[in-house]
């Protein structure tokens, strides 16, 4: 039973804690959504630029091939039968075509890298967003627990004080908030105990006087019962207390 209570102690006041944790998470999610939209737009523009560069490179490659074929055809039409010149022309055109093909391949490779980086960025944004939401949820519950815990404890102790039990030995846990409020509550109980002690002294004097003057037995019994109740309220609470009928 103790272990089960410890597991559930972080949600002392679920309505309050979940509400304020939700506010924190919603604000952060909105900020992350706006940032994600800006990043996605930037990545989209980079992808569009890469596609345009590929299209231009493909166009330049096709034009280069066409120009190479036209140039080679013009040389043949000119009737130049010099095999060395034709070989040089063919090698030059082939080298030019190879450079154009290499440039096209480089541009396409860069486009693929940009697309891959864009997908990775999207995955990172989604994963980091989920991790941040979980982290903020846990932190929100923990932070509100540090506030709700002392309030819950003081409510329970106030109910005890209202029954006349003025001895408070409990203290806040390390890291809890509202220490000043709890200290003021303890100071109140100290003042009430001082008042109760003064009343108890007055009652003792009255009881002693009544015993000396031979007061009725029922009056003395009532005064002794009242004194026992007042003393009981000033004693620390024991882990296990027998019922009054067993005393």
pTM attached to this predicted model: 0.53
Q: Find how far residue 227's CA is from the centre of its chain.
A: 53
Greater pLDDT, 163 or 76: 163
In a domain, residue 116? The reply is: yes
3-class DSSP state of 23: helix
pLDDT at 223 over 70: yes
In a domain, residue 214? The reply is: yes
Give 72's pLDDT tier (boundaries 50, 70, 90): low
Q: What is the pLDDT of residue 171?
A: 84
Last residue of a domain, which of 112, 146, 180? Answer: 146
pLDDT at 206 over 60: yes
Q: What is the pLDDT of residue 4?
A: 43
Q: List, for residues 104-147, the tens digit of each pLDDT value.
A: 788 778 878 888 888 888 888 888 888 888 888 888 888 888 88
In a domain, residue 154? The reply is: no
Q: To which residue do tokens 């109740």 refer?
A: 229
What is the count of structural domains for the chain?
2
Query: Are the CB atoms for 130 and 122 separated by under 8 Å?
Result: no
Q: What is the pLDDT of residue 86?
A: 66
Question: Which spans in 78-165 are helix H?
Answer: 83-162
Last residue of a domain, which of 146, 178, 195? Answer: 146
Terminal-residue alpha carbon distance, the chain: 29
Q: Find how far residue 127's CA is from the centre of its chain.
A: 15
Give 247's pLDDT tier (boundaries 50, 70, 90): very low
Please check whether residues 19 and 116 belong to one and the same domain.
yes
In a domain, residue 134? The reply is: yes
Please check whether residues 140 and 24 belong to one and the same domain.
yes
Q: What is the pLDDT of residue 85?
A: 64
In terms of residues, how long is the chain? Answer: 247
Give 245's pLDDT tier (boundaries 50, 70, 90): very low
d(CA 19, CA 25): 10
pLDDT at 6 over 60: no
Please check whether residues 114 and 214 belong to one and the same domain.
no
Please check whether residues 73 and 170 belong to one and the same domain.
no
Please check whether residues 25 and 115 belong to one and the same domain.
yes
Q: List, for residues 78-111, the tens digit of each pLDDT value.
A: 655 566 766 776 777 777 778 777 877 887 788 7
On average, the pLDDT of the chain sits at 79
Residue 236, sorted as left (phi over 0), alpha (psi -120 to 50) or beta, turns out to be beta
pLDDT at 208 over 80: yes
Find the domain containing 208 and state its range: 163-237
Give 240's pLDDT tier (boundaries 50, 70, 90): very low
Using CA of residue 240, residue 241, residue 243, residue 247, what is the dihedral sign? positive
d(CA 220, CA 203): 11
Please check whether residues 133 and 177 belong to one and the same domain.
no
């Amino acid at each position: 039973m103790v272990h089960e209570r410890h597991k559930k102690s972080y949600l002392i006041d679920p309505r309050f804690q979940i509400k304020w944790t939700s506010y924190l998470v919603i604000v952060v999610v909105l900020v992350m959504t706006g940032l994600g939209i800006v990043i996605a737009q930037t990545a989209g523009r980079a992808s569009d630029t890469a596609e345009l560069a590929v299209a231009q490179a493909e166009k330049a490659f096709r034009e280069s091939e066409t120009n190479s074929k036209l140039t080679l055809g013009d040389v043949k039409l000119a009737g130049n039968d010099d095999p060395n010149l034709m070989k040089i022309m063919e090698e030059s055109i082939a080298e030019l075509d190879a450079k154009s093909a290499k440039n096209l391949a480089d541009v396409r490779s860069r486009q693929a890298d940009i697309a891959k980086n864009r997908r990775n960025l999207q995955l990172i944004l989604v994963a980091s967003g989920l991790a941040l939401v979980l982290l903020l949820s846990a932190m929100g519950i923990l932070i509100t627990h540090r506030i709700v815990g002392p309030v819950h404890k003081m409510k329970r102790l106030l109910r005890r004080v209202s029954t006349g039990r003025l001895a408070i030995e409990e203290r806040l846990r390390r890291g809890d908030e509202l220490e000043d409020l709890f200290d003021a509550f303890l100071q109140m109980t100290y003042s009430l105990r001082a008042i109760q002690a003064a009343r108890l002294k007055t009652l003792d004097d009255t009881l002693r006087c009544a015993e000396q003057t031979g007061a009725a037995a029922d009056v003395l019994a009532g005064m002794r019962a009242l004194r026992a109740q007042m003393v009981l309220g000033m004693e620390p609470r024991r882990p296990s207390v027998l019922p009054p009928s067993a005393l």
